[in-house]
Structure 1
């Protein structure tokens, strides 16, 4: 049953070849600064023209912000102790501002995928109503971001408007990386790898959704770290980057399914208890397969990096 259901789940398509890679033909500090400015600049430019392509601006900017947060972890031992946590919070809040609209779009895509593969026994009228509700919610969230001067983030967030996200991206050029060395980045990579192995262990021991979510974050960071350092550390091969990306995709699909189930639970006026039970059973089977494959691939990847 699990294998049959899994066939219906679409695998994510890999992105275009990365430009998020420090070149080997310049000193490390210069290469790092130039490389992290690329996603920062791209995100700022997309958000400045947000109304021209809302969906792409949200999707790509969120990916860029995740790259920046990963890069920040590599300078933790180099920068001032007070700078790193404060900057991490600002980048996190910037991502959260855009997350709601992006998550709404992902829920639409995930439901569409399950419907296309006929994975659910839920009646079509119910699925149609649910899909329409998701689309309305997505469009409303995107339009709420139209005015970049209107705060739309959480009340306690430091970054609560698109203007603030743009400014945060531009601030990356001021990161304190003077004198940054490859050695300090390598040590940071070792530390982050250890965090990832610990997170994987919690999942293997039967950890809950939060444990899987933490492993997903650690794997995504690892993917970006390996990508950044691929051309300057001889022990990192492009295949390592590809393998980390593949595990990140598996855990991303796992997360998308969990988010869709939570949405269904919040719509009792559309999704009946019987329909919810059907959805949960199907998703549980797919998640089990995704989690099993992700852990096996992550274990092999971490072992190859030791």
Structure 2
């Protein structure tokens, strides 16, 4: 299974196929949650939900704004059923990465205390997930979502509609970057990260438009998303530790630890803004014009390659 479509001919049918595959993959992961490692299964299932949210964004014309919004709300809420557990797992990795960066050998007591807090959070999140039956509810919802996707009317969805959707996705990501650049607060940064991830999924999905161009752009967006994701995890880690004053008491030690978090955030955001200045250099109109050119060039090369191949198999 691959999160890619054929970008010629019946593009609507291709989007429908990928949506069905993504829903089915999420179902398999959640059905195996008790047997497989919850950490990886939940991470992968949430990734499928994010891919589906991004895919649905491309369907504003056939589904309508309300239809797209309803689908996105469903996949957002499905992911949130596992967010507390996923956050605790992600923060453990974030804490360890931070400790490795600033402490070569022995970890200070505050890092050890933070580990205990995160371990307690993960245990609490696991109990809540099992108690509330969130996984079963999501599986029921996915069965209905799969039926809805099969009923989408996408016969007339072709390059014109996809081109408009890609223009919109790039514009939203670029606007979110500029907003975050002007006001780099957690909310703006979170929105920028989300829009960047959506655009990454759009570019990955449409790889066949111009493979070399899209692959290079996807690589830049992936790195940008990692910078912003690591920054987001640090914000969540700090917020979590502030909610546990008994385990991580206020004082010079905690203040120093939070300064270290702030220093690492500065490094990540500097790198993110530098990279974004290159990724979003073009206006939305310029971006889509460049994409048109790359698409036409790729189509011409494919036709030429086909003609050469035909000559090679002709009888002498």
Q: TM-score range by the shorter chain?
A: 0.7 to 0.9
From 151, 163, 166, the counterpart of 1:189: 166
CA deviation after TM superposition for structure 1 residue 88, in Å: 1.4
- C-alpha distance in 2 between matches for 1:112 and 1:168: 40
Residue 82 of structure 1 deviates from its aligned partner by: 2.8
**CA 182–24 in structure 1, closer or farther in 2 if over 3 Å, else same:** closer
**Hey, what's the Cα distance between the residues in 2 that align with 1:127 and 1:235?**
44
Match of 1:246 among 223, 245, 265: 223
Deviation of 1:29 (Å)? 1.8
**1:86 alignment partner in structure 2:** 70
Number of the residue aligned with 2:268? 290
TM-score normalised to the size of structure 2? 0.80
Asked if structure 1 preserves the Cα contact closer than 8 Å seen for 2:7 and 2:206, the reply is no
1:84-108 deviation digits (Å, cap 9, x = unpaired): 1111111111111111110110111
* One of 46, 61, 70 as aligned partner of 2:29: 46
Partner residue in 1 for 2:235: 258
Runs of 5+ in structure 1 lacking a partner?
A: 1-17, 154-159
Number of equivalences: 281
Residue 29 of structure 1: aligned partner: 12
Runs of 4+ deviating beyond 6 Å: none
CA distance in 2, matches of 1:88, 1:284: 33
| Distance in structure 1 (CA, Å) of the matches to 2:59 and 2:86 | 28
The 1:80–1:198 alpha-carbon spacing in structure 2 relative to 1, beyond 3 Å, is closer
Contact 1:47 1:166 in 2 (8 A): no
Alignment of 1:118-197 (within 5 A): 118-119=102-103, 124-146=108-130, 150-152=132-134, 161-167=137-143, 170-171=146-147, 172-197=149-174
Looking at structure 2, the residues matched to 144 and 173 of structure 1 have their Cα atoms a distance apart, in angstroms, of 33
| Cα contact 2:117–2:247 (8 A) shared by 1 | no
RMSD: 2.6
**Equivalent residue in structure 2 for 1:70, among 54, 67, 70:** 54
Q: 1:69·1:91 contact (CA, 8 Å) conserved in 2?
A: yes
- Cα distance per residue 1:207-235 (max 9 Å; x no partner): 31111111101100110011111213579
Note closer, same or farther for the CA distance 1:52–1:173 as it changes in structure 2 (3 Å cut).
farther
Normalized per residue, the structure richer in helix is 2
- 1:72: Cα distance to partner? 0.7
Partners of 1:114 and 1:256 in 2: CA distance: 11
Cα deviation for residue 25 of structure 1 reads: 6.8
State which structure, 1 or 2, has the greater radius of gyration over its C-alpha atoms.
Answer: 2
Normalising to structure 1: TM-score of the pair? 0.83
Check conservation: 1:265, 1:276, Cα contact below 8 A.
Answer: no
Whether the 8 Å CA contact 2:117–2:241 is kept in 1: the answer is no
Counterpart Cα distance in 1 of 2:61 and 2:71 = 14
**Aligned-pair CA distance for 1:24:** 4.5
* Whole-angstrom distance in 2 between the partners of 1:127 and 1:81: 46
